[in-house]
Structure 1
């Protein structure tokens, strides 16, 4: 029963569609785990979210979807006070917001009628409140689904997670890992198995783990497999395939 894993898609819907075309989900033995970070950086966060959700809805017994830190930060922004602008200010050129709202809807939220302008005539708190209200109004079901996403998926031999776990807790890692560590752990832990199972994660770019800015391939050691290939700079997603015997292979899809 092969298990595939994809992580850190970051708004790159074209690459995701290409990757899914190569994963044989028509075989009921195939499993697929998404490791999070569906939004930000790329220009089609909405397309990625909708495609991931639809894939899970179509094959609910085969597809597991986990949350990443960018997904959780987006939800935290929606739930925060209107004067909390940090997520919106980090959305460079409003690339994620623009993928979620029609141009005229966004223009009105910014306080004008010109859909070609990103300028706002409103104070930051009012602008933030308007944008959040528009996102909630248009994407209530998608937001509810994002809130439901788990942080970790465990099999007999592997732990799938966006960033990592507290490996010092050993086999009690589920109880010993603070929630934010699952999605935000940094730096990455490397080396032998410490929790009884091998960890599969994204979050940390594999260039950093290889120590080579040109090497975006999967990084693996005795206890870990990291797969974030920096699609925002390379244009490709690393697709990991795990076999029942623990062996693995990768494919860079662009």
Structure 2
């Protein structure tokens, strides 16, 4: 009964599709945990979310989907005041918004009728309000689904989480970890197992953890497996496979 894990897909739907093709979910003993950050940075955030949701629906007893910080920041943007523009301004070239809204719908939110133009003469608050209203209207089911995502998944031997847990809390980590730490912990903790189980996480690019700065493969130590392969630069996803005995292997999947 192997368990696979994928993290930090960031709008790269083709890489995810190729990665899923390597995971034998047709075997009912196979498990898959998505560790979050489905949106932003890539051009097809909607495609990633639709593929993750479809995989979960097709295999509800085998697939676990966790939230990452980018997913929750998107929800925070929708819920925040219209004059809070931080998330929208960080969506470079409106890549995430463009994946969620049809060109004419976005153009109208920007205050014109030209689906080829990202320009807007609207003030920031009005533009932000319009775009949020359009996203809510067009993607209500997607928004509800993201809101429903858990932050952590625990097995007999591993804890799966987007960023990490408060390891100083030891085996009381569930009670001792503030919610934001599950999705935003930084820097990554490395070293021995402190909570009685090995932690599997994304969030921190593995190139920052390896001694060789050009390496993007899974980073492993006694207490952790970090798997974020920096897909927006490498164009590849790390796919982690964990066996029942705790041994693990990895593959790197791109567009080829």
User: How far apart in 2 are the matches of 1:189 and 1:82?
Assistant: 36
User: How far apart in 1 are the matches of 2:213 and 2:129?
Assistant: 40
Aligned to 1:195: 195
Aligned to 2:54: 54
2:205 is aligned with 1:205: yes
User: How far apart in 2 are the matches of 1:199 and 1:155?
Assistant: 10
Aligned to 2:92: 92
Deviation at 1:116, TM superposition (A): 1.4
Aligned to 2:103: 103
Residue 74 of structure 1 aligns to a residue in which SS? helix
Aligned to 2:8: 8
The TM-score with structure 1 as length reference comes to 0.99
Deviation at 1:46, TM superposition (A): 0.2
Q: What is the root-mean-square deviation of aligned Cα atoms in Å?
A: 0.5
Deviation at 1:118, TM superposition (A): 1.0
2:170 is aligned with 1:167: no
Deviation at 1:212, TM superposition (A): 2.6
Q: Which runs of 5+ in 2 are unaligned?
A: none
1:171-223: CA deviations, max 9, x gaps? 00000000000000000000000000000000000000003331000000000
User: How far apart in 2 are the matches of 1:120 and 1:179?
Assistant: 37
Aligned to 2:128: 128
Deviation at 1:130, TM superposition (A): 0.5
Deviation at 1:16, TM superposition (A): 0.2
User: How far apart in 2 are the matches of 1:193 and 1:56?
Assistant: 30
Deviation at 1:97, TM superposition (A): 0.3
User: How far apart in 2 are the matches of 1:103 and 1:219?
Assistant: 40
Aligned to 1:33: 33
Q: Which runs of 5+ in 1 are unaligned?
A: none
Moved over 4 A (4+): none
Residue 210 of structure 1 aligns to a residue in which SS? coil
Deviation at 1:115, TM superposition (A): 1.2
